[in-house]
Amino acid sequence: MKKFLYTIAVILSASCSSGRNAGTNVDTPPMGWNSFDSYGVYLHEKAAMENLEAFAEKLKPYGYEYFVIDAGWFGEFELKEGTLYSKEIHAKRLNLNEYGLLQPSRTYFPNGFRAIIDRCHELGLKFGLHLMRGIPKQAVEENLPIKGTRYRAGDIADTVNVCNWCPQNYGVDMTKPGAQEYYNSLIGQMAEWGVDFLKYDDIVPYPDEVQAVVNAIKQCGRPIVLSLSPGSLVHEDAVGIYAQADMMRVTRDIWDDQEGIDQCFEAWRKWQGMDHEGLWIDMDMIPFGKLQLMAPKPKGLDGSESKSEVRKMIASGKLEDDALFSGKGWTRWSKLSRNQMKTFITMRSMAASPLMVGGDLPTMDEYSLSLLTDEDIIRCNQNGVMGKPVKEMDGIEIWKTDARDFDGGWIGIFNRGNEDSTVRLNIDDIGLDSKCEYAIYNVFEHKKADCLTFAVPGHGVTFLRYSRK
């Protein structure tokens, strides 16, 4: 592992001045909204427009700029009668053009994307879409032509290396003629539409296809931010390829539970020293507010059941076979406590992880908004420096992020345990120079810290800003 991380550090350092990014150079962690936590793969036109307007009102004034529609935007879903609720986890039929390129769903986006993209840009925001690695199986079954070539979908399909959680695509065999041209045509279409951000999924384990997307963005004529997912199976010998993107997921899907918080801490520690302007280590979306709006809880469930338990109930006939939805759980407000929320957003801020909000924006509660728009949370995050651990003791972890634009920075005192704790510290404990004097401000309590004794609740945090006097 140490050799792996050292290799990443060397390659990122070497690539920082070589124009390595696919289509742009993102100097600070991207900030925006992604539809997956709140709508799964079932975002529809009305909800998209409502969230876009709410985004401009509630988040844009604080520097958020990327409005991203996640997976499913191309699916011709079979719906439950009289509703917009899907009867399928993933759509069996996709809307494709004559070249096998994805088009907006007639089911969920009957008027296409033009009005949404134009409104996004009119509001001074940037528009993003989710794509899955590979080529639609439907295009292969119909053996559609690859635009600008004499080849067809079947000529380039890799029918072995397929996604194990989304059945819609085959991989692309990049050794085959026509393969790069397919990616060029798909990304070219994105550029023509006015797409500014691409979240590419199921692609990190396949670096040859990452490179294909990078190449396609470079030739498309439009700067496009590239975000790579998911956060597993990173190949050491392909780090130079990953480094050409702008964001890279280093966790699984993160939801509103302590397990997700713990996994983010693990990733933060594992990827120490990998922070660099232009490639941001991504810990997934922020599940605050209302989640899974398109996944109403079926009758007969209390909401705590796992997907495997639900599948067993479907198999036994206790539930209809349309009871499962994309994402995790059913329609709900985020289950994170206020202490967990403070920990969650402080960790993202101090780790310089992109701030991509996941909850429904029109209904977003004021407390969630207060954290998402907190001046120090945003300033620390946009500072673009990954914080480092400075001390551990009795379930308490202390992390420090140095500031670029003033003589100081931020400190997080995280209580990783269940029980409340009173923490008595000295200057050395928080990674500061005992020979200097500091002004210390308690961010969430909105007051100066007159001493270094803090009451930190279980799974909570004390977030401090410090500056040298």
Confidence band of 6 (pLDDT split at 50, 70, 90)? very low
Q: Is the domain defined by 389-468 classed in CATH 2.60.40.1180?
A: yes
Q: Are 23 and 218 in contact (CB under 8 A)?
A: yes
**Ranges of H-type helices in 244-292:** 258-270
> What six digits make up the tokens of 454?
């803090």
- Structural tokens at position 26: 């993102």
User: For 206, how many CA atoms within 13 A lie in the half-sphere containing its CB?
Assistant: 21
pLDDT in tens, 414-457: 999 999 999 999 999 999 998 999 999 999 999 999 899 999 99
Cα-trace Rg, the chain? 23
Quick one: which of 90, 71, 253, 76 has its CA closest to 167?
90
List pLDDT tens digits, range 27-78: 999 999 999 999 999 999 999 999 999 999 999 999 999 999 999 999 999 9
Domain boundaries, the chain: 2-296+331-383, 389-468
Per-residue pLDDT, 80 = 93
At 24 the pLDDT is 62
Looking at residue 308, what is its pLDDT? Answer: 83
Q: Are 86 and 78 in contact (CB under 8 A)?
A: yes
Residues 310-338 pLDDT 10s: 888 888 888 876 677 889 999 999 999 99
**CA-to-CA dists, residue 307 to 257, 298, 304, angstroms:** 16, 13, 10
Distance CA 261, CA 400 (A): 18
Q: CA 123, CA 126: separation in Å to the nearest integer?
A: 9
DSSP H helices, 134-280, are: 137-141, 153-156, 179-193, 207-219, 239-242, 258-270
CA–CA dist 398, 405 (Å, integer): 22
| Total residue length of the chain | 469
Edge-to-edge, what's the strand order for the sheet holding 157-158? 135-136, 169-172, 157-158
3-class SS at 319?
A: coil
Helices (H) and strands (E) in the chain, counts: 14, 21
Fold of 2-296+331-383: TIM Barrel (3.20.20)
